[in-house]
Chain A
Amino acid sequence: MSSVSVFGLCAAAAVGLGLYGLITNPQPLRKIVAFNLLGSGVFLLFGIVGRRGAAAGVGNDPVPQALVITGIVVAFSATALAIALLLRLFHAAGSTTLSSRAPTSPRSDPSGG
């Protein structure tokens, strides 16, 4: 098996694992981690397809590489925004549950926001 197929199967598994964790794990932070895992698998699939496009003395098609670099930075900024929302939710509600049924004890937020 070539390196492309070994890493390709690994990337496909990462996408599957990330999706499973995103659906089944109730904690928002774990969902964010799982979503990052899913995204990392998608980026790797991109890189593997680009590796097959090696030509003209370049080991990996530079166009998907550039797209993945942009994608990694955007994924990081989206993660940071999601974490900031989560910390704000924890600060305002005293818990991070996403369930509407769960008994939460809303803490009075003196800052009013």
Chain B
Amino acid sequence: MSIATVFEVALAAVVLGLAIWTIAVPETYSATVGFVAYGLLVALIWVRLDAVDVALTEAAIGGGLGGVVLLGAAARLRDAEATAAERPDRFTRLIAAILSASIAAALGLAILILPDHAPTLAPVVAANAGATGMANPVTNVLMAFRGMDTMLEKVVLLLTVVGVWSLASDRAWGGRPGPHHEADPHGVLAFLARLLPPAGIVVGIYMLWTGADHPGGAFQGGAVLASMWLLAIMAGLADTPPVSSRWLRFILVAGPGLFLVVGLGGLCFGAAFLAYPVAFAKPLILGIEVAMVLTIAATLALLLAGAPERNA
């Protein structure tokens, strides 16, 4: 066995152990901590699978921001743990175990007996890379070849924010989301919240810019920008904006809005919906991505902050 294979088997074993821990451990808080560690190690698996774009997304959104959401909820729901102790009986658990084990076995078997000549769209993507002037195949697929998916996903993000906001009580509507954070102004958190954002904002913008030709892109850059904003909010240096603010709503609709306008432009002046004219493909895509990165950063941060709770 080569060193690489030993590393892969060890990585898979640790990931599997963390998955079992996440399901089996009694305390909810420990389970969420286990899930965050699981998400970060899964990002390593993505690197081993040669999917660095996905690894960046998984680490930033799956492990990072998702972990913050789950840990925050686990901390707030700690009091509820004792009341909800109605586990299903042994028979139900046995049936569930048999069902889950057979589905896992079927999936594992399916992976092992896949045919040798796997179907792939990679050559088609590589052959058409010239149409957009960008070298990163994943960005090409996201922004051009399957641009419709990405546009609709932005709409999903927008609808989720609407859904979270609509959970506000009548009194708090139009107010600021989440609790007000106060931290020691001379503590470590406040220090890091002053130190990290300048570098983090540059890293986020760099990830967006380099995504045209190298791994990176609007999602990864947006997640980094969102985490910098959240760091300042959690340290009490900034506050969440009231949900009634006009500029905030403008940023939230900027990404899907511009995407939709460019798409309709393709319908009017070009071949089809979302068909970019070849001469302007790269500037158009970059313009959409700049609007998207702002929308993604604002949306992710607001999803973490939760429903409006306080008056402006």
Expressed in whole angstroms, the Cα–Cα distance for A111 and B175 within the complex equals 14
Q: Are B303 and A77 in contact (CB under 8 A)?
A: yes
Are B38 and A32 interface neighbours, CB within 8 A?
A: no
Are A12 and B23 in contact, with the CB atoms below 8 A? no
A-side interface mostly: helix
Verify B167–A67 contact, CB threshold 8 A: no
Size of the chain B interface, CB-CB below 8 angstroms: 101
Q: Report yes or no: B304 in contact with A26, Cβ–Cβ below 8 A.
A: no
Asked if B85 and A26 sit within 8 Å, CB to CB, the answer is: yes
A108 at the interface (CB under 8 A from B): no
Inter-subunit contact A16/B125 (CB<8 Å): no
- Contact A37-B138, Cβ < 8 Å, known A56-B123, A77-B303, A87-B306: no
The answer, yes or no, to whether B258 is at the interface (CB within 8 Å) is: no
User: How would you classify the secondary structure of chain B's contact residues: helix, strand, loop or mixed?
Assistant: helix
Per the bound structure, the CA–CA distance linking A95 and B83 in Å amounts to 7
Cβ < 8 Å to B, chain A residues 67-88:
67-70, 72-81, 83-88
Residue B261 at the A interface, CB < 8 A? no
Q: How far is the CA of A56 from the CA of B103 in the complex (A)?
A: 34
Cα–Cα distance between A97 and B87 once the two chains are bound (Å)? 11
Instruction: For the complex, give the distance between the alpha carbons of A8 and B42 in Å.
Output: 12
Chain A residues with Cβ below 8 Å from B70 are 29, 32-33, 36, 79, 83
A84 shortest CB reach to chain B, Å: 4
Interface residues of B in 100-128 (CB under 8 A from A): 100-101, 103-105, 107-108, 111-112, 114, 118-123, 125-127
**A12/B45 contact (C-beta < 8 A), A37-B19, A66-B142, A70-B150 known:** no
B255: min CB distance to chain A, Å: 12
Asked if B157 and A77 sit within 8 Å, CB to CB, the answer is yes
Chain A residues with CB under 8 Å of B99's CB are: 19, 23
Measured between beta carbons, the chain B residues less than 8 angstroms from A76 are: 61-62, 65-66, 69, 300, 303
Interface residues of A in 82-106 (CB under 8 A from B): 83-88, 90, 95-97, 99, 102
Identify 20 new A-B residue pairs, CB closer than 8 A, beyond the known A18-B19, A97-B84, A102-B86: A14-B16, A36-B66, A47-B46, A51-B51, A52-B118, A53-B120, A56-B125, A56-B127, A63-B146, A65-B54, A69-B54, A70-B149, A73-B157, A73-B219, A83-B72, A88-B167, A97-B83, A99-B84, A99-B86, A102-B84
Interface of B toward A, CB cutoff 8 Å: 4-5, 8-9, 12, 15-16, 19-20, 22-23, 28, 31-32, 35, 38-39, 42, 45-46, 48-51, 53-54, 57-58, 61-62, 65-66, 69-70, 72-74, 76-77, 80-81, 83-88, 92-93, 96-97, 99-101, 103-105, 107-108, 111-112, 114, 118-123, 125-127, 137-138, 140-142, 145-146, 149-150, 153, 156-157, 160, 163-164, 167-172, 217, 219, 296, 299-300, 303-304, 306-307
